[in-house]
Chains A and B, each alone.
Chain A
Amino acid sequence: MKQIENIPDCGILLFKSCLVSVEYPGIESSTTYVFDKLGIDYLVSDEQSCCTGLGYYFDLFDQMSTTAVAARNFAIARKNGYNNITPMCSTCYAINKEACALLNSNDEVRSNINSVFKQAGLDDLIYEQNSLDEVDNFYHVVELFLSKAKQIGKLNTIDFSGVRVAAHHACHYYKIQSDDMIGNPNHPLLIDTIAKSCGADVVEWYEDKTLTCGAGFSQIHVNRDLSLKVTHAKLESLKEAGVELVLHMCPNCQIQYDRYQPVIEKEYGTKYDFVHMNIGQFVALALGADPEKVCGFQTHSVPLDGFLERIGVSF
């Protein structure tokens, strides 16, 4: 089981995410901003490809192709000596971890994929059993922040006291990989702890805290009404709890909340007074990052101007 004291701060491959890059590039610039401030030894590699998670959950890619792509990305991590694969997206986290477990435990899968590499003349991609460990080499960025929560609290420049914050932890982090999450999967508190270290007034439990965001990958497109019904229920609970800021750890959830909140307001004839941020954006902001150039808040659908003004940040 993962222990918070064993979370590494060196050899980190900050795993790029397609949804982060396309939808909220500020998450990545915020994360590297924080990593630099915290002195974390990390690498961002342009050789790395998408984890295929989106394609996988849309039923476009099968497990074998997904695992082969993962093996290719693992080879990049190994080649550069940055073996601790650390995504900003919970789907990248779960997909990579699962692929690694398969490559380590299933001889048939490993030899099939390695033979494809050999046939294509890509011998440098060949995966050797247990060259990565599915527990010890895979982290989510939020875990690194959690392990540095005290330091983050000390470096914090913003007075968050009285700001009601709630967290939405990502299903692919604490449900799919529940055995390897830090804490109690019935009561995830990673984001809450980080926000608390910055002095925020955290709502630790609210109705539907562990309910999904509703995105469900293809569901928002093929089952739009059901998908938005779930999101609506969750937004109502957050409203009931009197929250001002919702923190996320997965770009997919953030899209569902931030992009669709105005849609739900229109379709359900309601109004919500809270804004959304990724935990990386929150910590970067707390550590003094520029809200536009680093955090990229201008890319959000729910405008943050009012909120930032309330906490004394000019935007």
Chain B
Amino acid sequence: MNHSNDHVGVFICHCGGNISDIIDIRSVKQEIRSDNISTFDCEYLCSNVGQDLIKTSIYKHSLDKVIIGACTPAKHEKLFKKCVEDAQLNASMLEIANLREQCSWVHPNNLATTNKAISLLNGKIKRIQTALPLIPIQIPINPNAMVIGGGIAGINSALNLANNGIHTYLIEKEVTIGGNAAKIGKMFSPEKLAEECSMCSLSPLMNEVGSHPNITLLTYSEVENVNGSAGDFKVTIRKKPRYVKDNCMACGRCSKVCPTYVENDYNCGVKDKKAISMRFAQSVPQVYSIDPDHCIELTGGECGKCRDVCKVDAIDFEQKDEMIELDVGAIVVATGFDEYDASRKPQYGYGIFENVVTQMELARILGVNGPTLGKFARPSDNSMPHNIVMIQCVGSRDEGKSGNKYCSRYCCMAALKHASLIAKKYPDANVTICYIDIRAFGLYENYYRAVQDMGISFVRGRPAEVVQKANHNLVVKIEDTLTQELKEIPADMVVLSSAMEASSGTKQVANILNITLSEDGFVKEKHSKLKPVDTSRDGIFVCGTAQSPKDVTDTIAQSGLAAARTSAFISDKVIRRDPQIAQIERSLCNNCDECLKCPFEAISKDKIGNVDINPLVCNGCGYCTKLCSKGAISIAGYKEEQIMAEIDGVIEKGDVLAFLSREIPYATADNIGNSVAEYPANVKIVQVPTTTIITKAMIEHAFKRGSQAVLLVEEPTDNPVGSFIYPLALENFEQLKGELGKKGARLHFKKAYIPHYRGLAETFISLAQMEDIE
């Protein structure tokens, strides 16, 4: 489609001399002015005066299209788009020629700079003649959120969301929320050098969740299936039967008459729980539940005692699984950790010797609501242990295949906390901590020092073996690596600081949500520094130990952030996406399915077999355009004819044409200008989504126009787009080089890194000089 009769306005910015001192703006204007091209200039186009000039000129001169010659579009493109939209033009009726970073700043002493500016503007003028109005993509966001996992991370996320006015479903697979944090009797406080009751912190939060008007709590429930995408997830929940209705008053009569004792996994598997019970006194919701594997009635026997004593008729042996459908806009994954199975290291005797326990089990033993009701006693004979040896890094920092390579982060502090608790309450007890390094980062160092001052012994070394002697007493064999002595430390009780591992729930949920896991099995964040709670899928966030091992302090911080990110996402109400993504012309499509090779999985087939492009996933890289032999797919704003038109305007005899991918490579070229480096003015840059869209026709067109060399510069492999696209771009380059025959020698390929702008400048210089020789 040709709109050459449209009225185009070209606005050139002086940039306070940054552009106008080098480029002769008057001759530029003279050169490009014509019947249907009006030219304007301004000291600062980005100022209010400049913006007004653009807006009023659009009205006054009935401009159809606008070209701006100014700084890099990375800087003010959004501002100028808003200007043209304010003046009732479509945003795609604007093109920006980069006259500063890629022209005046990089060729400051070159007479050809003005000519280059003219050619860059000509390129944009030709390009915009082929432009069509594009409609920005807007997808409504469902206002509800879902948090998966009711541990301390999920609780904190849900409360933050709910307090922000977002209705939140909190899904927990156990009968109560609370998670692992509910098992820990005390939490340490590094600033007070003290230990605080953890249930006293957690219980009020749990109650708040239970009564919050913006939270729908679904316990004993698991996510079964999730469809849809960001902003519009369709979730199926399976709610398991408790066999007790919600009208339960938690009076406890049922539990008193229940004849069956079962193992209590909340209390290290001690048989101190009835088949009808609450997990712990502070459970939320305050509703009993029946263990169907052990209840006499539910295993085919006859009992029903609980039903008989219940005053509110809450017992219902007929309850079945219930499927619940939810619509949510965003999801927070807070599925927590599992403790490493220490029996994988039989040399430490866990599961073999009764008096070898884990820190998590010690936390229960020390808890006032624990299996010993707060009495510090060892499992074999219920006597108080006097010599306690703790072994650090069990299953952590372990190169072997029975452990994990990473540090679990919490265990040094957990060991110090338990050592401190024991030393304070039982001054006669001797606690020894066998460690590799104590990692008491930040302010925790103060706590570490305080615990050292309490007389706790530290032995540096990884024990070889724990051996059981008479009376269930133990001996820990270790080499003290500071003195290089072999030691045998007698112990009444050995405590293993077991690693934190990605929970089975995390793996299960990640599989349902189709989000990426790290090598270690935790949910992988999009960027460890910049996007620490975003997952590989938009609209799905992660926090707590589902993302990596961490302690309660870090979990609270991260779950707050996940809630903030979720809240910001939902509050937008609509997802806006730039329209420059793949679009399909269905009448040309022959269903060859080649485009389904999209490396980002943005393209699929809909129910009736048509190619469907997901606008939330497509990043407009353009790889699919090369896969389509029918020319049915194109990138909006980057159609072949648009790029050909720009080449037409930009390239003159002897030029080097550089196609730069739009993120890192384009920014690297800008950085050459920012860094006051130079290269010859016959190097002309055309921005593309990625170089995978470059065709043989485009290169041949550049050669025909007189270009001596063509350079393709691609995103580096450590960039989210480049990691998929770089090898495909390289493949495209090699194919093009082959197809071009002899001329292929003049086609070059490179990747760019922003700080390594000199490398790109040197490539520009060497290619420009090569032509001089020719």
Contact = CB atoms under 8 A, between A and B. Distances in A.
Interface string B345-389: 111000010000000000000000000000000000000000000
Interface stretch (A16-24, A77-85, A147-155, A182-190): A182-190
Contacts of A112: none
B301 interface: no
Interface stretch (A63-71, A92-100, A204-212, A290-298): A204-212
A208 to B, nearest CB: 7
Interface centre among B345, B346, B400 (most CB of A within 10 A): B346
Contacts of B467: 207
Contacts of B400: 178, 185-186
B352 A205 contact: yes
Interface string A205-232: 1011110000000000000000000000
A179 interface: yes
Interface string A160-197: 00000000000000000011000011110000000000
Interface in B320-357: 344-347, 352
A205 B344 CA distance: 12
A186 B465 contact: no
B352 A185 contact: no
Contact of B346 (A1, A179, A186): A186
A184 B402 contact: yes
B402 A187 contact: yes
Contacts of A184: 344, 401-402
Given A205-B346, A210-B347, A186 B402 contact: yes
A20 to B, nearest CB: 29
Interface centre among A179, A186, A205 (most CB of B within 10 A): A186
A205 B468 CA distance: 12
Nearest to A207: B467
Nearest to B353: A205
Interface residues on B, range: 10 to 19
Contacts of B402: 184-187
B673 to A, nearest CB: 45
Interface centre among B344, B345, B400 (most CB of A within 10 A): B400
Contacts of A185: 400-402
Nearest to B466: A207
B345 A207 contact: no
Interface centre among A184, A208, A209 (most CB of B within 10 A): A184
A207 B477 CA distance: 11
A179 B399 CA distance: 10
Interface in A243-278: none
Contact of B347 (A1, A179, A186): A186
Interface residues on A, range: 10 to 19
Contacts of B344: 184, 186-187
Contacts of A187: 344-347, 402
A186 B352 contact: no
A82 B507 CA distance: 42
Contacts of A1: 401
Nearest to B467: A207
Interface string B379-411: 000000000000000000000111000000000
Nearest to B399: A178
Interface in A14-65: none
A207 B466 CA distance: 8
A39 to B, nearest CB: 32
A179 B401 contact: yes
Contacts of A179: 401
A155 B467 CA distance: 37
Contacts, number: 31
Contacts of B401: 1, 178-179, 184-185
Nearest to A189: B346
Contacts of B347: 186-187, 209-210
B11 to A, nearest CB: 62
Interface string B444-468: 0000000000000000000001010
A239 B344 CA distance: 25
Nearest to A210: B347
B342 to A, nearest CB: 11
Contacts of B465: 207-208, 210
Interface in B516-550: none
Contact of B345 (A178, A186, A208): A186
Nearest to B345: A186
Contacts of A204: 346
A204 B352 CA distance: 10
Interface in B467-506: 467
Interface string B569-611: 0000000000000000000000000000000000000000000
A178 B401 CA distance: 8
A1 B400 CA distance: 13
Contacts of A186: 344-347, 400, 402
A184 B346 CA distance: 10
Interface centre among B344, B345, B401 (most CB of A within 10 A): B401
A207 B401 CA distance: 22
A205 B353 CA distance: 11
Contacts of B352: 205
A26 to B, nearest CB: 32
A181 to B, nearest CB: 8
B401 to A, nearest CB: 6
A156 to B, nearest CB: 27
Interface in B669-698: none
A178 B346 CA distance: 16
A32 B535 CA distance: 56
A205 B346 CA distance: 7
Contacts of A209: 346-347
A116 B44 CA distance: 76
Contacts of A207: 465, 467
A184 B352 CA distance: 16
Contacts of A208: 465
Contacts of B345: 186-187
A73 to B, nearest CB: 29
A122 B554 CA distance: 65
A186 B400 CA distance: 9
A176 to B, nearest CB: 13
A185 B402 CA distance: 7
A1 B401 CA distance: 10
A92 B68 CA distance: 76
Interface in B86-100: none
A266 to B, nearest CB: 26
Nearest to A185: B400
A100 B291 CA distance: 56
Nearest to B468: A207
A210 B345 CA distance: 11
A13 to B, nearest CB: 27
B465 to A, nearest CB: 7
B391 to A, nearest CB: 13
A213 to B, nearest CB: 16
A237 to B, nearest CB: 8
A195 to B, nearest CB: 17
A205 B350 CA distance: 12
Nearest to A237: B467
Nearest to B344: A184
B466 to A, nearest CB: 9
A189 to B, nearest CB: 10
Nearest to A180: B401
Given A184-B401, A184-B402, A209-B347, 17 more contacts: A1-B401, A178-B400, A178-B401, A185-B400, A185-B402, A186-B344, A186-B345, A186-B400, A187-B344, A187-B345, A187-B346, A187-B347, A204-B346, A207-B467, A209-B346, A210-B347, A210-B465
9 contacts: A178-B401, A184-B344, A185-B400, A186-B344, A186-B345, A187-B345, A187-B402, A204-B346, A209-B347
Q: Which 7 A-B pairs have the closest CB atoms?
A: A187-B346, A186-B402, A207-B467, A184-B402, A205-B346, A186-B345, A185-B400
Interface of B: 344-347, 352, 400-402, 465, 467
